[in-house]
């Protein structure tokens, strides 16, 4: 297919040339004529009749979505058509966490996302960076953590701008700075291990350095200054230095000081809103319906900052409507940040993603929210492949161009924009939405993660796993993903990792349960088989999983951060080797008993059936993995 775009394309040609290969057309004067015109109307329009083809658009990003819609219609063989879409939001795009989970995407990986976003029509992205960017005055900031250079960020901003995509810096200026404040060079600005000391002059010198470094390489004047989850604000060194003050007072004092900096630099800040709600809750909860924020506090809040309401946890529109209206009581319309549930282990929870996003974005449209963010967090290792999330991005995009979401159109657009298949990506959820987990896994349980990392002979989750026949379940999923990966093209590594994970779980899911049963039954023949056949074979499966996961990491991410997963895989492999040795010693009579298998298994945290643990440090052992 050859297309000749002409008209209002002066700032579009570079993007057209880049996307031509990916969308399956050649750009040239001999091609099918496409007249491009910029207009003031709210709609983007793609029209084809006997007189030719016209694309009408307002913003650059709308042209690239329209170009994709045109190519898709032509590939479908449509002769005459008019496609009209009305953008629902003035800002819509992802935030990628490149700090908390230790994975910093390569610039080429970010560019791949940018190209997909352009065809989807997503117009903004953030790289959430606690310390993943270079601050020239602070050599320990982001040290050995894969931080982006100023040139790398500038390169990404230039690339995004070709498609009309805004790159907004997203940093932290209060808390969530554990990987910064651990260095002694920052000892005099610590309140606690992850929160800066409010009121200390050196704190604001440092914040200004961060803000300047984050804002310098990008075009936009907007910046996200963070300020969420400062759990112990004012309770550490601040308390010893200043005495007790309410979190309301401390937050407002600090925010005003930070905004003095952004005003002076001509920046337009936004911030997470949760600390104000937590301070007004007797339990410190963000979503406490009994929360009361005094009007005096609201009156004292600065008016030149946008508040970002983040929520991925609710599945009914009514809750989102309520919380949006509570945010509006601050005197402005909030930005909304939903979630693509990629942060609970290896598996993206598409059940919870679909339910929460549909409810939230429907509420946003009804309440006049014009700016939305799709968050992808990397919590605790970024075990989940970044590209597992692309169906979630398409979900946000399709909501962004329709009053009501059409699943049929979502499926079709996903295939066109990404080359992926809707059902294949939805099938990712089954690794965690296993037997015993409720429909759509709205509890966001992560059984695959706990089954993988827990110790084979000291299974903290064995009482929850007993009798569920997970071995056969994961053997079936292994076959499913083996078939999917063969048709997945560039996404083959996603499904290869999941296939190999399921191969491991087909043995390891109930390994501790089965070992304990054999031991308590005195079945030394079965135990001998575990020591000499099953466990050595399982070690081989773990090594295959580790190799696939490792290769994928280095393909899409910078090298820094993989070492954390190496520790996990290495610990698992050695634990399996130790288990085989311990069992062999027992079978041979070298040891009289296996203390690990004699301990009565308890329900994890006393909860029946719910296979859930958020942090790795609590999965392998009841002992401390590290200090403090």
Read off the pLDDT of residues 45-85 as tens digits, 9 standing for 90 and up.
999 999 999 999 999 999 999 999 999 999 999 999 999 99
Model confidence at 627: pLDDT above 80: no
Question: pTM of this prediction?
Answer: 0.97
φ/ψ bin of 441: left (φ > 0), alpha (ψ from -120 to 50), beta (otherwise): left
Distance CA 262, CA 21 (A): 41
Distance CA 412, CA 405 (A): 13
Percentages helix, strand, coil for the chain (3-state, rounded to 5) are 50, 15, 40
pLDDT, position 463: 95
Q: Give residue 287's pLDDT band: very low, low, confident or very high (50, 70, 90).
A: very high
Write the DSSP symbol of residue 85: E
Model confidence at 481: pLDDT above 80: yes
pLDDT, position 180: 98
Classify the C-alpha dihedral 286-290-295-296 as positive or negative.
negative
Distance CA 313, CA 349 (A): 12
Q: Give residue 275's pLDDT band: very low, low, confident or very high (50, 70, 90).
A: confident
pLDDT, position 301: 86
Model confidence at 384: pLDDT above 80: yes
């Amino acid at each position: 297919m050859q297309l000749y775009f002409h008209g209002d394309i002066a700032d579009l040609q570079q993007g057209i040339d880049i996307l031509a290969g990916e969308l399956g057309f050649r750009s040239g004067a001999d091609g099918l004529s496409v007249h491009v015109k910029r207009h003031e109307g709210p709609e983007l329009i793609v029209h084809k009749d006997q007189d030719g083809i016209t694309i009408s658009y307002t913003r650059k990003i709308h042209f690239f979505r329209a170009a994709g819609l045109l190519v898709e219609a032509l590939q479908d063989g449509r002769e005459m058509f008019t496609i009209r879409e009305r953008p629902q939001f003035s800002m819509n795009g992802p935030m990628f966490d490149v700090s908390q989970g230790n994975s910093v995407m390569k610039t080429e990986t970010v560019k791949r996302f940018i190209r997909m976003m352009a065809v989807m029509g997503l117009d903004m992205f953030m790289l959430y960076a606690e310390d993943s960017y270079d601050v020239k005055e602070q050599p320990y900031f982001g040290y050995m953590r894969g931080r982006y250079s100023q040139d790398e960020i500038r390169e990404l901003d230039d690339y995004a701008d070709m498609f009309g995509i805004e790159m907004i810096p997203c940093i932290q200026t209060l808390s969530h700075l554990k990987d910064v404040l651990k260095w002694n060079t920052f000892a005099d600005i610590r309140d606690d291990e992850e929160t800066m000391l409010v009121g200390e002059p050196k704190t604001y010198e440092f914040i200004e350095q961060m803000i300047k470094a984050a804002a310098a390489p990008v075009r936009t004047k907007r910046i996200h200054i963070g300020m969420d989850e400062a759990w112990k604000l004012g309770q550490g060194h601040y308390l010893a230095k200043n005495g007790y003050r309410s979190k309301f007072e401390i937050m407002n004092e600090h925010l005003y000081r930070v905004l003095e900096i952004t005003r002076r630099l001509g920046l337009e800040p936004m911030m997470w809103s949760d600390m104000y709600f937590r301070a007004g809750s007797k339990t410190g909860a963000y979503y406490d319906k009994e929360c009361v924020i005094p009007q005096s506090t609201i009156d004292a809040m600065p008016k030149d900052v946008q508040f970002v309401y983040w929520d991925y946890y609710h599945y009914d529109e009514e809750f989102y409507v309520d919380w949006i209206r509570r945010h509006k009581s601050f005197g402005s319309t909030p930005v909304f940040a939903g979630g693509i549930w990629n942060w609970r282990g290896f598996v993206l929870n598409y059940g919870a993603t679909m339910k929460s996003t549909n409810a939230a974005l429907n509420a946003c449209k009804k309440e006049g929210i014009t700016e939305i963010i799709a968050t992808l967090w990397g919590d605790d290792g970024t075990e989940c492949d970044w590209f597992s999330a692309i169906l979630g991005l398409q979900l946000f995009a399709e909501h962004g161009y329709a009053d009501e979401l059409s699943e049929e159109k979502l499926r079709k657009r996903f295939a066109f924009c990404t080359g992926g298949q809707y059902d294949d990506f939805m099938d990712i959820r089954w690794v965690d939405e296993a037997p015993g987990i409720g429909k759509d896994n709205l509890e966001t349980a992560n059984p695959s993660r706990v089954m993988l990392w827990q110790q084979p002979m000291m299974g903290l989750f064995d009482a929850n796993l007993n009798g569920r026949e997970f071995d056969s379940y994961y053997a079936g999923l292994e076959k499913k993903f083996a078939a999917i990966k063969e048709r997945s093209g560039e996404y083959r590594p996603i499904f290869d990792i999941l296939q190999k994970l399921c191969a491991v779980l087909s043995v390891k899911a109930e390994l501790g349960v089965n070992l304990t049963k054999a031991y308590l039954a005195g079945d030394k023949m079965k135990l001998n088989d575990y020591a000499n056949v099953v466990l050595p074979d399982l070690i081989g499966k773990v090594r295959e999983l580790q190799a696939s996961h490792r290769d994928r990491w280095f393909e899409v991410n910078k090298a820094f951060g993989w070492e954390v997963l190496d520790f996990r895989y290495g610990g698992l492999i050695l634990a399996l080797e130790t288990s085989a040795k311990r069992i062999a010693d027992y079978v041979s009579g070298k040891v009289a008993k296996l203390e690990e298998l004699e301990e009565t298994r308890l329900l994890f945290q006393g909860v029946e059936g719910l296979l859930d643990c958020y942090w790795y440090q609590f999965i392998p052992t009841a002992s401390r993995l590290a200090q403090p």
